[in-house]
């Protein structure tokens, strides 16, 4: 029952918050933080108890749910999902701690929204029944919509509507794909009705069926990644979201799309995966370069980091669809690293914005003079995002490029240019904000160095960024059996040989 406890502990937090008075903001914050920290500790225990050498799913919970329809309450984790589960619980309490001073309006509703958001994200990563997965997927949509729409910036209504339309339409198409798999499996398996992932992959679906189902899944997962050209909702959502919303959006929600491709599209639809492989590699390569190029010309600090996510998540899709061990392990590690690094970058942007209420790069400068500790933290996260060896960002991108060159030298060489561009826009941004002379003198009085709670939530991210960069085997060892299983499923229909 460990997985159920991890997934539904946030719901206990909601039950604790409901009877509390809205004016008691400190108690609301402390209760939420304690619940999320407890969930993080449970996920760390799960990591320690996880058998890295075993294949298949672990800590499974599999009981009948809607028996007449063949639907089950089936939870389980492998190396892929256990890392993302830990990342979710880590960034959730960090996001709440980052709002300690910033959010004063409707604190009770804000905390409840974040607890429900965490519940949905955790459920997505452990659900092994497609209907259950869809329920958790939809749960995620509502609280994030509310967080941006209520606590967002001046254009929050536009951003929330755009976010909702993109993700909701994709979700509806995914529901169509799920229903199609349900009925097709029953037809191919002598009337056995199920949406259990472990059973859906035991039959071979005709290519003519796989192609439209793959496209329907693509509509949901590619929007969530987001993959070019379905990325346009992301910068608006990031710019208007509160800092904690941006941290969760970049750190976790974008991973839902990559996870969906890895868990469902590739193993269940292997022939369609190979059929659309060249197209996916092309779109991913464009996303890698496009995101970096657009980041170069951004004037808004937050929008620059948002567009960099398009580039980094392009590497994830590239690694997934080269369909070799280096690419897949690099893609999964890149998802983990991106959550740490981009989440940290948004936190750093939020720290300055909370003090000066300005994100225009032209209005900022000289921050290192007033906030030297902050500048040191930010430098490490920035260099990690650039891909400096010894920090987290390097290992994932290196493995993805290694896998890409094994399939397409052209895609590999083009994607490498994004690393050069990333160095350009991130180093320029750091130099501009930290060292250029301050343009507006009254900002100086507001630029107080890191407070105790800010150090408390940045330190774990700093430690992990260095740990993954210096000794990545700690994390890669979780991935070997899961990646081998995904490749075995993807090649089951002879797709790799055909390729």
pTM score, two decimals? 0.89
> Which pLDDT score is estimated for 106?
86
> Which pLDDT score is estimated for 410?
86
> Which pLDDT score is estimated for 494?
44
Residue tagged 């981009």 (tokens): 342
> Which pLDDT score is estimated for 127?
93
pLDDT in tens, 106-144: 888 889 999 999 999 999 999 999 999 999 998 988 888
Nearest to 155 by CA among 298, 257, 303: 303
Q: How far is CA 278 from the centre of its chain?
A: 24
> Which pLDDT score is estimated for 121?
93
Residue tagged 């430690």 (tokens): 463
Cβ atoms within 10 Å of 15's Cβ, excluding its own = 10
Terminus-to-terminus CA distance in the chain, angstroms? 42
pLDDT in tens, 251-293: 898 899 899 999 988 888 899 988 998 999 999 999 988 888 8
Instruction: Confirm if 131 and 72 have CB atoms less than 8 A apart.
Output: no
Nearest to 389 by CA among 310, 296, 294, 465: 465
Q: Is the peptide bond before 96 cis (omega within 30 degrees of 0)?
A: no
Angle (deg, nearest 10), helices 301-321 and 233-240 = 140
Nearest 5°: phi and psi at 196?
-70, 125
Nearest to 48 by CA among 409, 478, 390, 354: 478
DSSP characters over 408-467: -HHHHHHHHHHHHHHHHHHHHHHHHHHTSPPS-GGGGGG-----HHHHHHHHHHHHHHHH
> Which pLDDT score is estimated for 442?
65
What are the tokens at 216?
């329907």
> Which pLDDT score is estimated for 299?
83
> Which pLDDT score is estimated for 279?
92
> Which pLDDT score is estimated for 11?
94
Angle (deg, nearest 10), helices 130-151 and 107-126 = 150
> Which pLDDT score is estimated for 213?
92
> Which pLDDT score is estimated for 468?
93
Instruction: Confirm if 145 and 164 have CB atoms less than 8 A apart.
Output: yes
State which residues of the chain have pLDDT below 50. Answer: 494-499
390 dihedral zone (left: phi>0; alpha: psi -120 to 50; beta): left
CA distance 287 to 310: 6
CA distance 222 to 79: 22
> Which pLDDT score is estimated for 438?
65
């Amino acid at each position: 029952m460990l997985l159920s406890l991890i997934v539904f502990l946030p719901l206990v937090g909601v039950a604790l918050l409901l009877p509390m008075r809205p004016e008691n903001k400190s108690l609301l914050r402390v209760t939420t933080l304690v619940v999320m920290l407890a969930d993080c500790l449970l996920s760390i225990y799960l990591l320690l108890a996880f058998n890295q050498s075993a294949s298949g799913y672990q800590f499974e919970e599999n009981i009948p749910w809607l028996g007449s329809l063949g639907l089950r309450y089936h939870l389980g984790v492998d190396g892929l999902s256990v890392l993302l589960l830990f990342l979710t619980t880590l960034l959730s309490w960090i996001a709440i701690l980052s709002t300690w001073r910033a959010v004063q309006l409707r604190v009770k509703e804000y905390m409840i929204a974040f607890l429900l958001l965490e519940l949905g994200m955790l459920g997505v990563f452990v659900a092994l029944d497609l209907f259950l997965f869809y329920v958790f997927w939809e749960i995620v949509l509502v609280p994030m919509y509310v967080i941006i729409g209520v606590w967002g910036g001046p254009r929050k209504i536009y951003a929330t509507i755009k976010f909702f339309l993109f993700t909701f339409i994709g979700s509806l198409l995914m529901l169509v794909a799920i229903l199609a798999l349900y009925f097709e499996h029953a037809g191919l398996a002598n009337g056995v009705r199920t949406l259990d992932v472990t059973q859906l992959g035991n039959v071979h679906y005709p290519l003519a069926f796989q192609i439209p189902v793959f496209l329907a899944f693509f509509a949901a997962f590619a929007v969530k990644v987001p993959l070019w050209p379905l990325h346009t909702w992301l910068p608006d959502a990031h710019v208007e979201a509160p800092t904690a919303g941006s941290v969760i959006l970049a750190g976790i929600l974008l991973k839902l799309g990559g996870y969906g491709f890895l868990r469902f599209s590739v193993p269940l639809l292997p022939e369609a995966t190979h059929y659309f492989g060249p197209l996916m590699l092309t779109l991913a390569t464009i996303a890698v370069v496009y995101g970096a190029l657009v980041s170069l010309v951004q004037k808004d600090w937050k929008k620059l980091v948002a567009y960099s996510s398009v580039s980094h998540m392009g590497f994830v899709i590239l690694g997934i669809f080269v369909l070799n061990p280096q690419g897949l392990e690099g893609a999964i590690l890149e998802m983990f690293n991106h959550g740490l690094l981009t989440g940290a970058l948004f936190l750093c942007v939020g720290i300055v914005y909370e003090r000066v209420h300005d994100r225009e790069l032209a209005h900022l400068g000289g921050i290192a003079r007033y906030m030297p500790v902050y500048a040191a933290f930010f430098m490490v996260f920035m260099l990690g995002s650039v891909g400096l060896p010894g920090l987290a960002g390097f290992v994932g991108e290196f493995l993805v490029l290694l896998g890409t060159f094994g399939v397409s030298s052209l895609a590999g060489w083009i994607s490498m240019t994004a690393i050069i561009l990333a160095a350009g826009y991130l180093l320029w941004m750091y130099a501009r904000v930290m060292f250029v002379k301050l343009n507006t003198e009254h900002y100086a009085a507001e630029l107080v160095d890191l407070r105790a709670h800010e150090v408390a939530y940045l330190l774990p991210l700093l430690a992990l960024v260095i740990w993954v960069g210096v000794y990545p085997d700690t994390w890669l060892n979780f991935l070997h059996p899961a990646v081998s299983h995904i490749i075995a499923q993807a090649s089951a229909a002879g797709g790799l040989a055909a390729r």
